Chains A and B, each alone.
Chain A
Amino acid sequence: MRSTPRAEAKGTREGRPRRGLPLLFARARKGEGPAALGFLSLGLLLIALFVIYPSVRTLWLSLFDKEGFAGVSNFIDLFRDREIVDFGRFLSREPPWGALLHNLVWTVIHLPLTVGLGLVLAVVFSKVKSWWVGLARGAIYLGIVTPLIVGGVIIRFLFEKHAGLVPQVLGALGAGAPWSAGWTAYPETALLALVIGSVWLWTGFSMVLHSAGLSTIDRELYEAAQIDGASEWAQFRHITLPLLRPVTLVVAAMTFLWELKIFDIVYVATMGGPGGASNVLALEMYFSAFRELDPYRASAIATLITLFSLPVGYWFARRRLGR
């Protein structure tokens, strides 16, 4: 139910507006709250069972080791572990730089590329009326409906020495190894191959959301700008970009969360290798849990991933609660 100014005014005390949960409790006094809680109870129960309990249990486990209570020592150990962070090698030598820094590099390259490309493609496709637009839109959208396991296999073959398009084209252009060899086999290129491949897998998401956002912009704004003699670029900069900002922020936040928990394509395409050169936090968590059989370290990594995603989650929650 959308709250009207009048409804919000009713839910105020001493003139301060009430939103989100306070508003819900305000309505409870009106008799609407119990019904709402009734509808929510099944969902809340499921969330409590399958989200909150496992999260709390994971956090609890992360404070232990085989000997017993360990406090935050698991977290300190993680930051001392070269497999998580290796500042000694970072940018001065080829990867591995540690799973956390690989996630960071992934974000720095992937986030602007997918958000930017999605925005540009959405704008271009809304302007161009041609037979190939639907085809191109479909090809880009294919990435988002492709299961990530399959995406990993595609990336592996796309960058494979014999079957891969990318090394073959670069080889024909005269590039040497590792660019003309199997990208996933070399530490210099393995992470880059995954990041580039994942741009295709995720750009469709950005494009679709931006396209939806574009359709909500009033056409009269563009007509008025054209009458005033504004160029295409000026229209994009002063109308499209600001009005799409809320959508762009949501896409950026969702993309950041996706990058933090990336696992499937790394597992399939490189298994984090060679020599840990494309390892990421989620894969390291998997290795700890299912190869090392160490639930404590795995829980500490899971908690770390959650901590990194909390600011974005908090921002989302504030947006949903209208603050």
Chain B
Amino acid sequence: MRSWWRVLGVLAVMGALSLGAWAAKLVVIGPWSGDEAKPFEAVLAAFTDKTGIEVEYRVMRSEDLGKVLPAQFSAGMAPGDVIFTAWGWWVKKFADHMVDLGPQVADVPFGFLTPIVVEGRTVGIPYAVWVKPGFWYRKSFFDAHDLRAPSSWEDFLALLARIEAVPGIEKAAASGDEVGWPLSDTVEHFILAYGGVNMFLGLTEGTIKWTSPAVRAVFADHIIPYLQYASEPIEWTSAKDLWWQGKYGIYFMGNWLTGMVEDPADLGVFALPGAKAVTGGTDYIFVPKYTKNVADAAKLVEFLMSKEGQEIRAAGGGKLAIRTDISPEAYPPAERALIQALQGFVIVPDMDDTIGGEWQAAFWDQLKLLWVKPDALDDVLRVLDEKYPKG
């Protein structure tokens, strides 16, 4: 009988301890997993060392959060204390359910991406920046075949033709696929290069129609000719492997690619000739109103946005710091080279992440169609106009 009491006593102590640990632990939800998550986990570890507050990191993509959170918010609940999403439009839509983080970022020097403010409340904080600088290539591949980054549109087409003539190459350019976002990144880059920043911003704001002659011309004169040399959409990590193995010569992707290849020193990148701007984006931090650890969550946000926190993140590579006061020396060599390459470029917010909603899904899906059916161009542009958010 006594032994039973002992067992019960041990269980009670363990229960109390685990309950205490659970109560004190901050739950952070972000989209990164595997190697991509390691630099962020290093920041969380530094926060725990500094404050003694335990943090548990869980992985959920924006798409998954978009399904779960509306119902949870309605019930006055949230699955995490600090949450990251790439969807700024979504944060605006559900701003009523989020904590004002204005005081935590009052002194942060933001660059081209600024916090989301709704009715005077700062609800979404841009964290680390990713940019889509252009087409990546392996320096060793270009050297072996005497290829050079292009300096004009004609050069670019000639480069594509020369790559395609290399034995073993299936297509000059690999096209990544997932739900369609790698294709939208590519198209946005073409619009910036051959339509200009004003066209890009006009399309984002809905003041320019997709079916307008100028926009159609960007597709007809540049994107469609490029598609002759581009692969059909392939799952983007598989496409990355095939490109790295030499089945394709160039690959359009964001700068997180530097953390996904065996030898980042072998990476080269070029923007389309004529481009003066590239797209960039971020993952927004928000704290749901329903968390029981608002004070600790705010502390974590403050640390993530501090110079110290941003420098730790920058050192991990794959993303650029949102703060403008982070020195290039804080980055690994690949990011330093990228920062150098981006000198003179304007960075504009990613179009589909800004518009969001049903239009974003339609944009991805229609581009998947365009990639294999270039003659469907007019249908694609018509759908993009039809799907643009009304009002």
Tell me the A residues contacting B by CB distance below 8 Å. 156, 160-163, 178, 181-182, 185-187, 271-277, 287-288, 290-293
Contact = CB atoms under 8 A, between A and B. Distances in A.
A162 B365 CA distance: 21
A287 B369 contact: no
Contacts, number: 73
A161 B365 contact: no
A275 B357 contact: no
Interface size of B as a range: 20 to 34
Most buried by A among B93, B234, B368: B368
B243 to A, nearest CB: 12
B38 interface: no
Contacts of B182: none
5 contacts: A186-B232, A274-B368, A274-B373, A288-B358, A292-B358
B165 interface: no
Contacts of B365: 271-276
Most buried by A among B235, B242, B371, B379: B235
Nearest to A293: B93
Given A291-B358, A292-B358, A161 B368 contact: no
Nearest to A189: B372
Interface of B: 66-67, 70, 93, 177, 179-180, 232-235, 238, 242, 357-358, 360-361, 364-366, 368-373, 376, 379-380, 383
A277 B379 CA distance: 13
Given A272-B365, A273-B180, A287 B372 contact: no
Contacts of A277: 369
Interface of B is mostly: helix
A274 B233 CA distance: 10
A79 to B, nearest CB: 17
A277 B376 CA distance: 13
B99 to A, nearest CB: 21
Interface of A is mostly: loop
B358 to A, nearest CB: 4
Contacts of A275: 365-366, 368-370, 373, 376, 379-380, 383
A273 B349 CA distance: 26
Contacts of A274: 233, 365, 368-369, 371-373
A194 to B, nearest CB: 15
B66 A290 contact: yes
Contacts of B376: 275
Contacts of B66: 290-291
Given A185-B371, A290-B70, 13 more contacts: A156-B235, A160-B234, A185-B368, A185-B372, A187-B372, A271-B180, A271-B361, A273-B180, A275-B365, A275-B373, A275-B379, A287-B361, A293-B93
Contacts of B179: 271
* 5 closest cross-chain pairs (CB), A and B: A275-B369, A274-B368, A292-B358, A273-B365, A274-B369
Contacts of B370: 275
Contact of A161 (B93, B234, B379): B234
Contact of A187 (B93, B177, B234, B369): B369
B280 to A, nearest CB: 23
A161 B231 CA distance: 10
Contacts of A156: 235
Contacts of B366: 275
Given A162-B238, A290-B67, A185 B357 contact: no
Nearest to B383: A275
A178 B242 contact: no
A4 to B, nearest CB: 49
B233 to A, nearest CB: 5
A144 to B, nearest CB: 26
A187 B373 contact: yes
Contacts of A160: 234-235, 238
B360 to A, nearest CB: 7
A176 B12 CA distance: 68
Contacts of A287: 358, 361
